[in-house]
Amino acid sequence: MYLDRRHVGRSRGMSLKQTKRKCAIGRLRGLHVNNPFPAGGEASENSMQGVARNFFTLAIVYAIAGMALGLHMSISQDHSQTPVHAHTMVAGWLMSAVFAFFYHLFPLARERVLAKVHFWLTAVSGIGLLVGLFFLLGGNAAVEPVVAISSMGFYAAMFLFVFIALPVVWKS
């Protein structure tokens, strides 16, 4: 049984305090309150699925990598990789999280083949861009073509997102 604090008892004239108490009692009895996963552990319609889950997982990986790089730069007092840190946090963490929430909010968009192409183009080109940029700023000029190609792929992925998202958002 699922209890939602916004709905439990409110239709019966209960106060918000009484509703919260009823939800707390439900938790103590093993009922799930606002839980996105039913008792069996399977995902509900509110859990992230498909490319939404893939993008959010990728966003978390970017966030951990970007924060680790930031900590490393802070501890070592060598800030030569600041552009990589910034790209990881904005192009990686932020953009992947935005894509994840878009595909979560618009389930029909995430079911399209183009959504999967968008994920893989973003993931491969983004990782290539960040790894290549790390080595390029580290003094290895030979990786500049990798950075350039990855940048163009990442840009193409953004255009693909525009092609996917705008018709869905502006649909009447």
Query: Concatenated DSSP letters for 97-136?
Result: HHHHHHHHH-HHHHTSHHHHHHHHHHHHHHHHHHHHHHHH
Domain hosting residue 85, numbered range: 50-169
Q: What is the pLDDT of residues 112-161, one digit of tens each?
A: 999 999 999 999 999 999 999 999 999 999 999 999 999 999 999 999 99
Q: How many domains does the chain contain in total?
A: 2
Do 155 and 73 reside in the same domain of the chain?
yes
pLDDT at 14 over 80: no
Do 9 and 66 reside in the same domain of the chain?
no
Do 71 and 135 reside in the same domain of the chain?
yes
Do 17 and 71 reside in the same domain of the chain?
no
Do 55 and 90 reside in the same domain of the chain?
yes
**d(Cα 22, Cα 8) in Å, to the nearest integer?**
8
pLDDT at 23 over 50: yes
**d(Cα 113, Cα 110) in Å, to the nearest integer?**
8
Going by C-alpha positions, the residue among 112, 108, 100, 123 that lies closest to residue 52 is: 100
Do 150 and 87 reside in the same domain of the chain?
yes
Do 82 and 102 reside in the same domain of the chain?
yes
Would the pTM of this model clear 0.75, i.e. be above it?
A: no
Residue, of 89 and 11, whose pLDDT is higher: 89
Do 133 and 67 reside in the same domain of the chain?
yes
Do 34 and 64 reside in the same domain of the chain?
no
Domain end call among 28, 47, 66: 47
Residue, of 138 and 12, whose pLDDT is higher: 138
Q: Count CB neighbours of 112 within 10 A.
A: 14
Do 97 and 108 reside in the same domain of the chain?
yes
pLDDT of residue 171: 85
Do 160 and 121 reside in the same domain of the chain?
yes
